Amino acid sequence: MSTTTRLDKDEQGKSIDQKLYRSMIGLLLYLTASRPDILFSVCLCARFQASPKESHLHTVKRIFKYLAYTPSLGLWYPRNSSFDLQTYSDANFGGYKVDRKSTSGTFLGNMLISWFSKKQNWVALSSTETEYIATVSCCAQVMWMKQQLLDYGFSFDKVPIMCDNTSAICLGKNLVHHSRTKHIDIRYHFIKDHIEKCDIELVFVPTQDQITDIFTKPLDE
pLDDT number for residue 95: 58
How far from 71 is each of 11, 50, 62, CA to CA, in Å? 35, 30, 15
Mean pLDDT for the chain overall? 81
Q: CATH assignment of 87-215, given 3.30.70, 2.40.480, 3.30.420, 3.40.190?
A: 3.30.420
Query: What CA–CA distance (Å, rounded) separates 174 from 129?
Result: 15
pLDDT band for 94, please (50, 70, 90 cuts).
low
- Residue from 92, 84, 156 nearest 127 by CA: 92
Q: Taking 60 as the threshold, does the pLDDT of residue 158 lie above it?
A: yes
Query: Which stretches within 105-205 are classed as H helix?
Result: 127-150, 166-173, 191-196
pLDDT number for residue 68: 95
List, edge to edge, every strand of the sheet that includes 103-108: 114-119, 103-108, 87-92, 159-163, 200-204
pLDDT number for residue 27: 94
pLDDT number for residue 19: 93
Q: Taking 70 as the threshold, does the pLDDT of residue 28 lie above it?
A: yes
pLDDT number for residue 58: 92
pLDDT tens track for 39-59: 888 988 998 888 898 989 999
pLDDT tens track for 165-196: 888 888 877 765 555 566 566 666 778 888 88
pLDDT number for residue 141: 86
CB 48 within 8 A of CB 96: no
pLDDT number for residue 182: 60
pLDDT number for residue 176: 57
Strand partners, 89: 106
pLDDT number for residue 69: 93
pLDDT tens track for 118-145: 777 666 667 777 888 888 888 888 888 8
pLDDT number for residue 65: 94
Domain ranges of the chain: 1-75, 87-215
pLDDT number for residue 102: 61
